[in-house]
């Protein structure tokens, strides 16, 4: 029975492992590792020295070693590959599923890739090269060609014989795909269906023919949406002629979801995406991911300063207006950010498409109007009671209070409009909608808020005419 390391004190386990390594009590160490899940072993290997990592890895059984290797981060994988002999590397490669082998290769430098491919057998090398040719982030790039395929005229008994004969090297045997003589996908069934039918029944009599599949060039995010919608365990991938070339399993879909969510979060917070974990990313790499956006936003923010400079005479005539600029800009930016994040998330889940463009606009305008009026009413009372009556600021008149609150209503409606439309337009023209997120939208809304503020104030307040 495998032990989940999360139910134990990880520091104590690491300390125990290091002690066993130092005392060279390898039998006890091997027994301890055999009681752990490969994912938990990988977590421990991340924390020990390179020599201890190699020693522990060599104590693992072949299959367990391969599963642990997949769970390691790319730096530790590369370290182990350098330490492996050619025979050890070949043993690991032979146990890896092809999609996992491709994932490893994509993270390695060219010299390591050459050594990996040199130690792979010709069939594996050809399959890996085929998968590497698919575009990045496509369904083809994350699929595995290791699946169980059956023929429609097979009996259930014959199907079980084929599964037993070929299933040992397949990533999953639960879902089985039915192909014709040219390998075109014509049906799908499951081991459950096979078990519930008599041995003499023919697969074509009960297979599912309404098949949901992906093309090799479809975006990998589409795969995650289909897994979420239909609760699949595996999803078939076909080429342009409808031939079955691979499957995507649910564990691969979860990896994609995690990667895409991380990437979107980074983009939405004005950072270029990085593939390494936070602690594994160097200071220079972190600087590279953050500096370009910070520079762009800083330069764009200078336009806000130019607008304020253009209305210096108005501010000089009524300096009290200056005190409310931060509040107006922050509220507008926050309102636009709320709309953009909501719409971006809805698009990523497939809840909203460009066909819903005007529905989204109409909804956000109404939301903006309700939010704007509510905030304006609360702000009107606060300014009059606190700033005018309690703080005795005589420069705040009813007209000034009204100008500030009208600005709130207009800017919030505009911010909601910008926040919902820019991500959808970006998606339509081929950009990542996450780029059109809070920092960028805030900069646009800040400039518009100032123009609206000074425009309304000039129109309502006699001293500014």
What are the structural domain ranges in the chain? Answer: 5-141, 148-263, 283-464
Rounded to whole angstroms, the Cα distance separating 307 from 284 reads 35
User: What pLDDT is recorded for position 49?
Assistant: 85
Specify whether the backbone of 148 is left (phi greater than 0), alpha (psi in -120 to 50) or beta: beta
Please answer whether residues 447 and 305 qualify as being in contact, where contact means their C-beta atoms are separated by less than 8 angstroms. no
Rounded to whole angstroms, the Cα distance separating 281 from 278 reads 5
| Digit-coded pLDDT (tens) for 174-185 | 999 999 989 999
Surface-to-core class of residue 7, CB atoms within 10 Å of its CB (0-12 exposed, 13-18 middle, 19+ buried): exposed
The CATH class that applies to domain 148-263 reads alpha beta
Rounded to whole angstroms, the Cα distance separating 347 from 451 reads 31
Fold assignment, 283-464: Tetracycline Repressor; domain 2 (1.10.357)
User: What pLDDT is recorded for position 2?
Assistant: 43
Long-range contact set of residues 87-90: C-beta below 8 Å, sequence gap at least 24: 88/58, 89/115, 89/116, 89/119, 90/119, 90/120
For 292, phi then psi, to 5°, come to -55, -45
| Digit-coded pLDDT (tens) for 123-141 | 888 888 888 889 888 999 9
| Digit-coded pLDDT (tens) for 371-382 | 999 999 999 999
The half-sphere exposure of 319 on its side-chain side, counting CA atoms within 13 A, is: 3
Q: Flag whether the pTM goes above 0.75.
A: no
Rounded to whole angstroms, the Cα distance separating 442 from 143 reads 39
Fold assignment, 5-141: MgtE N-terminal fold (1.25.60)
H/E stretch holding 177 reads: strand 175-179
Q: Which two tokens stand for residue 108?
A: 């390695």
Rounded to whole angstroms, the Cα distance separating 345 from 225 reads 12
| Digit-coded pLDDT (tens) for 410-423 | 999 999 999 899 88
User: What pLDDT is recorded for position 4?
Assistant: 47
Answer whether residue 186 shows pLDDT above 90: yes
């Amino acid at each position: 029975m495998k032990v989940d390391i999360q139910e134990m004190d990880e520091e104590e386990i690491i300390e125990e492992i290091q002690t066993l390594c130092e005392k060279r009590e390898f039998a006890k160490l091997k027994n301890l590792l055999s009681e752990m899940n490969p994912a938990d072993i990988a977590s421990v290997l991340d924390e020990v020295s390179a020599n201890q990592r190699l020693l522990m890895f060599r104590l693992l059984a072949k299959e367990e070693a391969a599963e642990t290797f997949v769970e390691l981060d790319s730096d530790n994988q590369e370290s182990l590959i350098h330490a492996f002999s050619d025979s050890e590397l070949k043993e690991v490669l032979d146990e890896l599923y092809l999609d996992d082998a491709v994932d490893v290769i994509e993270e390695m430098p060219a010299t390591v890739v050459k050594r990996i491919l040199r130690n792979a057998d010709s069939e594996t090398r050809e399959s890996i090269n085929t998968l590497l040719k698919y575009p990045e982030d496509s369904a083809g790039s994350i699929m595995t060609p290791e699946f169980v395929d059956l023929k429609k005229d097979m009996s259930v008994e014959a199907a079980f014989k084929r599964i037993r004969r070929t299933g040992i090297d397949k990533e999953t045997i639960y879902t089985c795909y039915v192909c014709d003589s040219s390998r075109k996908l014509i049906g799908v069934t499951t081991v459950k269906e096979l078990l519930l039918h008599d041995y003499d029944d023919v697969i074509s009599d009960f297979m599912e023919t309404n098949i949901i599949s992906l093309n090799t060039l479809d975006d990998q995010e589409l795969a995650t949406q289909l897994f979420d919608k239909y609760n699949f365990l595996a999803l078939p991938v076909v080429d342009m002629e409808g031939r079955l070339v691979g499957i995507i399993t649910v564990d691969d879909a979860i990896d994609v979801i995690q990667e895409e969510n991380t990437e979107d979060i980074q983009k939405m917070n004005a950072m270029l995406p990085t593939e390494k974990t936070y602690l594994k990313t160097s200071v220079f790499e972190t600087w590279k991911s953050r500096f370009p956006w910070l520079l762009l936003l800083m330069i764009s923010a200078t336009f806000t300063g130019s607008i304020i400079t253009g209305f210096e005479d108005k501010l000089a005539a009524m300096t009290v207006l200056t005190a409310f600029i931060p509040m107006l800009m922050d509220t507008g930016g926050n309102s636009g950010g709320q709309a953009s994040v909501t719409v971006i998330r809805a698009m990523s889940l497939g809840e909203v498409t460009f066909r819903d463009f005007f529905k989204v606009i109409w909804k956000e305008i109404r939301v903006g109007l309700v939010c704007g009026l509510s905030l304006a009413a609360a702000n009107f009372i606060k300014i009059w009671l606190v700033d005018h009556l309690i703080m005795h600021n005589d420069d705040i008149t009813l007209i000034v209070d009204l100008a500030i609150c009208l600005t709130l209503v207009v800017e919030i409606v505009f911010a909601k409009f910008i926040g919902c439309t820019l991500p959808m337009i970006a998606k339509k023209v081929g950009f990542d909608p996450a780029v059109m997120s809070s920092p960028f939208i805030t900069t646009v809304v800040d400039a518009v808020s100032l123009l609206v503020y000074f425009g309304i104030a000039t129109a309502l307040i006699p001293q500014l005419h």
